[in-house]
């Protein structure tokens, strides 16, 4: 059984969103059951819990699918998501040189044992392969600081990079693949044109990202690209 959901403050936009999401789940009947919902979305129970306790807002793809599963209008919920997100400004990191912005590859290996890691249906070898491939590219790129890598993307923050690469991002398989590709492109800018070994690692990493995405789609009942 999932942990009891905490009380929320309806005056806070994110909490109001979560409260309405709880009400939708309650009205969905059997379709709103935890196990069935998580299985159909391909997410961990901890991810759904985070959505319902106001800690996180679902990614757009996940939210649209969730609305369909629970019998609601996806476009309404996309609009509600924009309202909730627009009201929230993430506080800046007090110090971008802080140790918490350094990628800890050992943490990633431990993270695969956490029940809250998204997409538990993906064979561990694929997610481990993605982490290992990114670690190889990071070394080839000279181990740049995460915030510097983020500065070479258009909209991915340092903390989002850490979230994606450590397996705690709660986006859909397609959203996760897109973020990984953006991060990989940013890392590739550190390589010299004649660095054949480095570019080989980038190519391998992209192949592993694509394979992991295909497996994720299969676990959620979608047909992957050929």
Burial of 195 (0-12, 13-18, 19+ CB in 10 A): middle
Q: Are residues 77 and 176 in the same domain?
A: no
Q: CB of 16 within 8 A of CB of 62? A: no
Instruction: Give the span between the Cα atoms of 22 and 8, in whole angstroms.
Output: 11
At which residue do the structure tokens 């890392």 appear?
187
Question: 191 lies in a domain?
Answer: yes
Q: Are residues 44 and 146 in the same domain?
A: no
Question: 173 lies in a domain?
Answer: yes
Greatest mean pLDDT among 102-106, 135-139, 197-201 lies in: 197-201
Domain boundary (48, 64, 86) is at 86
Instruction: Give the span between the Cα atoms of 139 and 105, in whole angstroms.
Output: 12
Q: Are residues 107 and 152 in the same domain?
A: yes
Quick check: 219 pLDDT over 70? no
Question: 1 lies in a domain?
Answer: no
**Global pTM value:** 0.47
Question: 178 lies in a domain?
Answer: yes
User: If you average pLDDT over residues 47-70, what whole number do you get?
Assistant: 87
Dihedral angle over CA of 55, 122, 102, 45, nearest 10:
20
Helix or strand holding residue 103 (H, E): none
Tally of domains in the chain: 2
**Residue of higher predicted confidence among 94 and 184:** 184
Q: Are residues 36 and 122 in the same domain?
A: no
Q: Are residues 44 and 124 in the same domain?
A: no
Range of the domain at 150: 99-219
Quick check: 183 pLDDT over 50? yes
Q: Are residues 55 and 104 in the same domain?
A: no
Q: Which two tokens stand for residue 70?
A: 């629970």
Q: Are residues 213 and 106 in the same domain?
A: yes
Q: Are residues 210 and 104 in the same domain?
A: yes
Quick check: 171 pLDDT over 50? yes
Question: 35 lies in a domain?
Answer: yes
17-49 pLDDT per residue, tens:
999 999 999 999 999 998 899 888 888 787 888
Instruction: Give the span between the Cα atoms of 59 and 81, in whole angstroms.
Output: 9
Instruction: Give the span between the Cα atoms of 26 and 32, in whole angstroms.
Output: 7
Q: Are residues 115 and 205 in the same domain?
A: yes
117-164 pLDDT per residue, tens:
444 444 455 567 787 888 888 888 888 888 888 888 877 888 788 777
Q: Are residues 82 and 107 in the same domain?
A: no
CATH classification at residue 18: 1.10.260.40
Q: Are residues 103 and 69 in the same domain?
A: no
Quick check: 190 pLDDT over 70? yes
């Amino acid at each position: 059984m999932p942990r009891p959901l905490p009380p929320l403050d309806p005056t806070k936009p994110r909490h109001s969103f979560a409260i309405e999401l709880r009400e939708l789940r309650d009205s969905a009947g059997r379709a709103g059951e935890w196990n069935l919902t998580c299985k159909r979305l391909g997410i961990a129970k901890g991810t759904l819990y985070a959505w319902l306790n106001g800690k996180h807002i679902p990614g757009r793809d996940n939210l649209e699918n969730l609305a369909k599963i629970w019998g609601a209008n996806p476009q309404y919920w996309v609009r509600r998501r924009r309202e909730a997100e627009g009201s929230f400004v993430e506080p800046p990191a007090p110090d971008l040189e802080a140790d918490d912005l350094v990628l800890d590859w050992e943490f990633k290996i431990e993270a695969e044992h956490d029940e809250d890691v998204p997409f538990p249906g993906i064979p561990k070898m694929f997610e481990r392969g993605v982490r290992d491939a990114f670690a190889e590219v990071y070394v080839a790129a000279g181990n740049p600081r995460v915030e510097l890598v983020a500065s070479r993307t258009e909209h991915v923050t340092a903390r989002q990079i850490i979230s994606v690469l450590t397996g705690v991002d709660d986006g859909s398989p397609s959203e996760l693949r897109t973020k990984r590709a953006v991060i990989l492109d940013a890392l590739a800018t550190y390589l010299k044109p004649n660095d054949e070994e480095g570019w080989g690692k980038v190519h391998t990493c992209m192949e592993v990202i694509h394979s992991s995405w295909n497996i994720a789609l299969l676990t959620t009942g979608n047909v992957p690209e050929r």
